[in-house]
Amino acid sequence: MSFAFYLISAISVAGGLAAVLLKNTVHCALALTVVFAGLALLFLQLDAQFAGFAQILVYIGAVAILVVFAILLTKGSETPKDGVFSKTWLAGLAVAAAVFAVFGWTVLQSGAVLPHQTATPQVTVAQIGTALMGRYVLPLEIVALLLTAALIGAVIIAMHEKPENNEEEVAK
Amino acid sequence: MSATLDQIFVLIKQWIVSFLPVAWQPVAGILLCVAAIVSVFPGLFAFTVLLERKGLGRMQNRIGPNRVGPFGIFQPIADGIKSLTKEDIVPYSADGVVHFLAPVVLVVAVFLGFAVLPMGRNMVLVDVDASLLFYFAIGASTELSVFMAGWSSRNKYSLLGAMRAVAQMISYEVPLLMSSVAIVMMTGSLSLVKIVEVQNHYSGIFPHWFIFTPWGFVGFVLYAVAATAETNRSPFDLPEGESELVAGYFTEYSGFKFALFFLGEYLAMFSISGLGATLFLGGWSAPFSFLTWIPSWVWFFGKVMTSIFVFIWMRGTLPRLRQDQLMNFAWKFVLPLTMINLFDAAIWRFLGEGWLRWVICSTILLIAYIGMGRIGMSRKHFGPRSYRYAE
């Protein structure tokens, strides 16, 4: 547990709290991005280069943008007058605490179950690539197929349907 | 002598660091490299702005800046002092914190990209295993700063500009990545240092640069198109189209924050040109085997500045695209061609040495290019332009 770990954790936790507590939805989305960045830094601190860079590329580069677009393009993005906090916050708190307790318990128990590892495993990006293309090629292909299907489905839902009698090219 | 000149910056760094205690040396070395990057590229930015204004002036039959100093060469200094001393206006309804953070995030993210570019033999700040992935990950996060700038200004033009910019950057990021994947397939490495080393060989006097293969040439052209769009340069400069959106996402910025956006844009140009040179043009390697005595960093910066000149040239030549043309071009032409190029690179790899792979790979790409162009054009109906909303 180094100084860097505590610094990154503090940033991530602060970002997470801000994402929950801020009133403006776009601010919440930006705070969530800080959490993503903190997670990526944690991965990098553990020498997991691929996971860290993929986290930045996918979550900050794509998911965060998607979230802010979704907020801006849907109705009700304006902050309501009577506050943004739900009336059933007590139940939400209980569920969140239960989930946190399960995770915490699992993490604490894992030390006893797993054999104590002294050396940090050296996993390079090349090894991950070889594993994905060799042993795990079928799951990879299935995921690729699923994502392609989702993409085509999204395009079909968003497609502008052409009027029957109009000959001209309809702008997208 | 030429070896000393080649490594002169590395030697200077070692000489300076040697004055410090041993424990501080690694940290001091890194700080020195960072300081060099942070000072060299903004200096190059000042020079490029002058070059662009003079060059554009020449292309448009006018003189360009000529008042400050001989031939106007001190114009960048005057511009810098002006933007430093200007009042920094933040709109009343703007979101203060986000408005302040946006240019900072942009410049920091762009500077991070330089960390992995090999700018000469042994001249790379961090040589990580997955430096190409790092570069694209950092490049993807600049989109967020553009959005932050546009949204926090609370201005229609800013928000529209930001939306256009983000949509464009996301669309063209896919071909940018996919055209580089072909290089990764051929070298078997994500490390930019290793990608340059693979290209730094010569047959006779000619180098083994990837641009001198069919898939490499097509990949480079597609990369250049995507890079132009990624940096919002003309003809893809819709996000800041003056005639439509004032200045796009940085309409509401003034003073030094505006200068930071300007700096970020040019730095992104430098870094994406540097990556293009590294991937396709052999990085710091010399174009002919008898020119290897010229220091490696001269070649790297020469290639970057040549790309910058092409950027300026295109800006002076081509008109701006329309939004739907931009999107259609990205998704219906550039992206399929990058996919075909990827297949082509695989075929090239497995056909082995010989003239046969040149014929087969070139034919596939030529057919794909002509066929897709023809199909795309046959769907278009040329005629009087129809206005849906403006009539």
pTM (2 decimals)? 0.85
Which residue from B98, B129, B159 is facing A125, i.e. has the nearest CB? B129
What is the rounded distance in angstroms from the CA atom of residue A66 to the CA atom of residue A71?
9
Q: Does A133 touch chain B (CB under 8 A)?
A: no
Query: Do residue B129 and residue A57 have CB atoms under 8 angstroms apart?
Result: no
Average pLDDT on B64-81 reads 84
Collapsing DSSP states into helix, strand and coil, what is residue B138? helix
Nearest CB to B148 within list A30, A49, A169: A30
Q: Of the candidates A26, A54, A65, which has its C-beta nearest B143's C-beta?
A: A65
What is the structure's pLDDT at A167?
Answer: 47
What is the three-class DSSP state of A172? coil
Distance separating alpha carbons of residues B69 and B67, to the nearest angstrom: 6
Residues A65 and A127 occupy one common structural domain: no
Chain A interface includes B170 (CB < 8 A): yes
Please tell me the distance from the alpha carbon of residue B326 to that of residue B167, in angstroms, as a whole number: 10
Contact B136 A68 (CB under 8 A): no
At residue A150, the pLDDT reads 93
**B206 bridge partner residues:** B203
3-class SS of residue B202: strand
* CB pair distance less than 8 Å for A61 and B140: yes
> Please, which pLDDT band fits residue A169 given cuts at 50, 70 and 90?
very low
Query: What is the DSSP pairing of strand B206-207 with strand B202-203?
Result: antiparallel
* Mean pLDDT comparison of A31-35, A65-69, A119-123, B60-64, highest-scoring range: A31-35
Q: Which of A24, A57, A68 sits opposite B137 (nearest CB)?
A: A57
User: Taking CB atoms and an 8 Å cut-off, how many pairs form between chains A and B?
Assistant: 74
**Cross-chain Cβ contact B130/A60 below 8 Å:** no
Q: Does A72 touch chain B (CB under 8 A)?
A: yes
Tell me the torsion sign for CA atoms B390, B171, B115, B215.
negative
Task: Determine, for residues A60 and B141 on separate chains, whether the beta-carbon distance falls below 8 Å.
Answer: yes
- Give the domain extent around B151: 2-376
Is the Cβ of B188 closer than 8 Å to some Cβ of chain A? Answer: yes
Within a domain: residue A147?
A: yes
Using the Cβ of A44 and the Cβ atoms of chain B, whether some distance falls under 8 Å is answered with no
Alpha-carbon span A88 to B360, nearest angstrom: 66
State residue A121's pLDDT score: 66
CA of A118 to nearest chain B CA: how many angstroms apart? 24
Whether the link from the prior residue into B235 is cis, omega within 30° of 0, is yes
B188-203 pLDDT tens trace: 888 888 888 888 888 8
**Which residues in chain B have their CB less than 8 angstroms from residue A168's CB?**
381, 386
- Which residues of chain B make contact with A172, given a CB cutoff of 8 A? 324, 327-328
Q: What does the pLDDT average to over B246-250?
A: 78
Q: Last residue of a domain, which of A76, A110, A138?
A: A76
Say whether pLDDT at B16 is over 60. Answer: yes
Residue B280 lies in a domain: yes
Mean pLDDT over B364-382 rounds to 83
CB contact under 8 A, B133 and A68: no
In 3-state terms chain A splits into helix, strand, coil percentages (rounded to 5) of 70, 0, 30
Report helix, strand or coil for B321.
coil
Residue A27 contacts B, CB cutoff 8 Å: yes
Is B385 an interface residue toward A (CB < 8 Å)? no
Which phi and psi angles does A83 have, rounded to 5°? 85, 160
* Residue A142 scores a pLDDT above 90: yes
Give the type of residue at A94: A
CATH number for position A39: 1.20.120.1200
Residue B147 lies in a domain: yes
Q: What is the pLDDT of residues A89-103, one digit of tens each?
A: 888 889 999 999 999
Q: When comparing pLDDT for A144 and A68, which is higher?
A: A144
What chain A residue is nearest to B184 in terms of C-alpha separation? A126
B129 Cβ under 8 Å from any chain A Cβ = yes
Per-residue pLDDT, A85: 66
Q: Is the pLDDT of residue B163 over 80?
A: yes
> Which of the pair, B236 or A160, is modelled with greater confidence?
B236
The domain boundary residue, chosen from A42, A76, A110:
A76
pLDDT of B391 higher than 60: no
Min Cα–Cα distance to chain B from A5, Å: 19
Best-predicted range by mean pLDDT among A146-155, B60-69, B225-234? A146-155
DSSP H/E element including B285? none
**A65-76 mean pLDDT:** 78
Give the three-state DSSP class for B203: strand
State how far the Cα of B83 lies from the Cα of A2, in Å rounded to an integer: 42
Cα torsion A160, A161, A164, A166 to 10°: value is: 0
The pair of structure tokens assigned to B172 is 């063209």
Q: Is the pLDDT of residue A171 over 50?
A: no
Q: What is the pLDDT of residues B107-154, one digit of tens each?
A: 998 998 888 888 888 788 888 888 888 898 888 888 888 888 888 888
Interface confidence, given as ipTM, is 0.78
A158 close to B (CB below 8 A):
no
Q: According to DSSP H, which parts of B188-294 are helical?
A: 192-199, 214-230, 242-245, 255-280
- The answer to whether B44 and B271 are in contact (CB under 8 A) is no
Whether residue A30 and residue B136 make contact (CB cut-off 8 A), yes or no, is no
Bridge partners (DSSP) of residue B207 are B202
A152 assigned to some structural domain: yes
- In Å, what is the CA distance from B82 to each residue of B77, B255, B260, B265, B277? 9, 8, 13, 19, 34
pLDDT at B383 over 50: yes
- Count: domains in chain A: 2
Please count the structural domains in chain B: 1
CB B180 within 8 Å of CB B130: no
- Cβ atoms of B178 and B339 closer than 8 Å: yes
Is residue B113 classed as helix, strand or coil in its secondary structure? helix
CB contact A9 to B (< 8 Å): no
Name the minimum distance, in Å, from the CA of A99 to any CA of chain B. 31
- Predicted pLDDT at A172: 41
Q: Does B133 touch chain A (CB under 8 A)?
A: yes
Token pair recorded at residue B213: 């293969």
Question: How many Å apart are CA B310 and CA B304, to the nearest integer?
Answer: 10
List the domain range (segments joined by +) for residue A52.
1-76
Higher pLDDT, residue B30 or A102 = A102
**Does residue B298 sit at the A interface (CB-CB below 8 Å)?**
no
Task: State the pLDDT at residue A103.
Answer: 92
Rounded to whole angstroms, the Cα distance separating B158 from B305 reads: 31
Mean confidence (pLDDT) of chain A: 81
